Amino acid sequence: MELAALQQLMADTYGAQDRERGVAATIAWLTEELGELAQAVRKGTPEEQLHELGDVLAWLASLAEQLGLSLEDAVARYANGCPKCGQIPCACG
Ligand SMILES: [Zn+2]
């Protein structure tokens, strides 16, 4: 799934309730899910890690949507390699 499609799907699915909760609550949820991802990486199964990666992405998409920003625009600066050195792989080392 493309990032723009993911963001739109999350907006269609959860947009109304997420907007009602607001950005501060979304940041709180995103942070909580990031903590769950960290725990799954440390001691979870690949299935649990996959689950938490999805949750983090979903909340990140919700945050971008509420800020009126696009995840695709956000990652565009990585499209041509490392934003600092312009190399793939990064040569900043
Ligand atoms: Zn670099």
- Ligand 1 centre to CA of 89 (Å) is 8
- Residue 14, classed as helix, strand or coil, is helix
Instruction: Name the pLDDT band for 1 (thresholds 50, 70, 90).
Output: confident
**Identity of the amino acid at 79:** A
Distance 81 CA to ligand 1 centre (A): 8
CA of 74 to the centre of ligand 1 (A): 18
Look at residue 57 in the predicted model and tell me its pLDDT. 97
| pLDDT reported for residue 76 | 95
Tokens 């956000």 belong to which residue?
Answer: 74
Using the mean position of ligand 1's atoms as its centre, give its distance from the Cα of residue 88 in Å: 8
Q: How far is the CA of 84 from the centre of ligand 1 (A)?
A: 5
pLDDT digits (tens, 9 = 90+) for 41-74: 999 999 999 999 999 999 999 999 999 999 999 9
- Residues 87, 81: contact at Cβ < 8 Å? yes
Percentage of the chain modeled with pLDDT above 70: 100
